[in-house]
Amino acid sequence: MGLVLFTGDIGTGKTTLLKYLLTELTDETEVAVVFNTNVGAEELLRLIMIEFEVEGVGTDKSRNLDMLNQYLIGVYQQGRRCLLVIDEGQNLSADALEEVRLLSNLQTDTQPLLQIVLAGQPELRETIQSPGFEQLAQRVAIKYHLTPLSREELGEYIQYRLKMAGSSDGKLFSDAALDLLYEAAGGVPRSTNILCNAALVYGYADSLEQISKSVMQQVIDDNLIMQPGLEPGEFAVEAGHSPVAEGESLGKVDESVLNRVRALEGQVANLTAMVSWQAGQIDGSLAKGHENIIKSLTDLLDKERVRSEEYYGRFLALSYEQKRLKSRIESRSSPCMGKNDLEENALEEKGEVIRKKNLLKAFSNLFFAFCM
């Protein structure tokens, strides 16, 4: 299939599910992941090629498209697949979305060369369904909207996280506390995490064995953004610091402020995902680099060890030869020898001295070479 549209509200876990998907893929799939979507069409194309590690990426769009197409064909001929994941797709411009549509056209006679997963907030789904994007909408083979957790799912979600953290107590949160938590967080996992973490800190500080409804209520009261009973688009505010215009109902926030908050949350989520992804890539590169360095040093050490053992053997041989020559010279200069023997020995001794000098010179050179 060509294009999968995956949307969900802020904090429902889109990026988490995408990361899980990537960990489940095998080597049979080449993957490119793009988190930075505040770019134009041509820059998006270059980012995709860089993620696929296509060599020769330039500024000529036609040439880049041709190189990408050739790369996809090469992977397809190897019996493998290419997957493109674009997160935070709601930030894509109209030109960039059109570029995504064009990429979905890269295919063989029977099937697409590139599988695309386009993920983002609900605005992305609304954009694709709006006039002017009919061709892109027709390319969508599967679309799924990730909704907040139900009350039952919320309880299962919390129990699972507690179990993974090592908790053996299935009732660390009372049912009343979970009911209040669901009312405040609305089943959104990110909000649930924030309130649960705070509740556990409160419970630890008071040496409690269970998080009760009163503790959860205190956590919610201390949190200025999430409070139960507020309608969508309303925020809790401190007395004397109301962000609304005079005459409006307390707690109502201007739509532009909400849009700015949503945009900031989207950017924070985008940056967090990018940092996590790049950190994983860097850790992998560093580990591989460390292995290569250790292997190179080990090979160098082995070569130096062989070289040292060779020099040491030659050093011992020369030492032995020096002692032998010294012994011969001392024996030939003995006073009990006759005149002819002494003259003969004098000539031999002169030759031995010359030989000894040459031997000492060679010994010296070898010694310095061994020390280095």
Residue 342 has pLDDT above 60, yes or no: no
How does residue 246 score in pLDDT terms, banded at 50, 70 and 90? very low
The mean of the pLDDT values for the chain is: 79
Question: What phi and psi, each to the nearest 5 degrees, are found at residue 246?
Answer: -65, 135
Q: What is the pLDDT of residue 244?
A: 39
Residue 297 vs residue 353, higher pLDDT: 297
Q: What is the pLDDT of residue 118?
A: 93
Residue 116 has pLDDT above 80, yes or no: yes
Query: DSSP of 216-272, one letter per residue?
Result: HHHHHHH-SS--TTPPTTB----TT---SPTTSPTTB--HHHHHHHHHHHHHHHHHH
Q: What is the pLDDT of residue 237?
A: 40
b vs e for 315-347, b when ≥16 Cβ sit within 10 Å of the residue's Cβ?
A: eeebeeeeeebeeeeeebeeeeeeeeeeeebee
Q: Name 105's Cβ contacts closer than 8 Å, sequence gap at least 6.
A: none
Rounded to whole angstroms, the Cα distance separating 223 from 237 reads 10
For 203-228, write each residue's pLDDT tens digit. 998 899 999 999 999 999 887 555 44
Q: What is the pLDDT of residue 314?
A: 73
Q: What is the pLDDT of residue 217?
A: 93
Q: Are strands 140-146 and 114-120 parallel, antiparallel or unpaired?
A: unpaired
Give the rounded percent of residues in the chain with a pLDDT score beyond 70. 70
Question: What phi and psi, each to the nearest 5 degrees, are found at residue 322?
Answer: -65, -45
Length of the chain: 372
Q: What is the pLDDT of residue 253?
A: 47
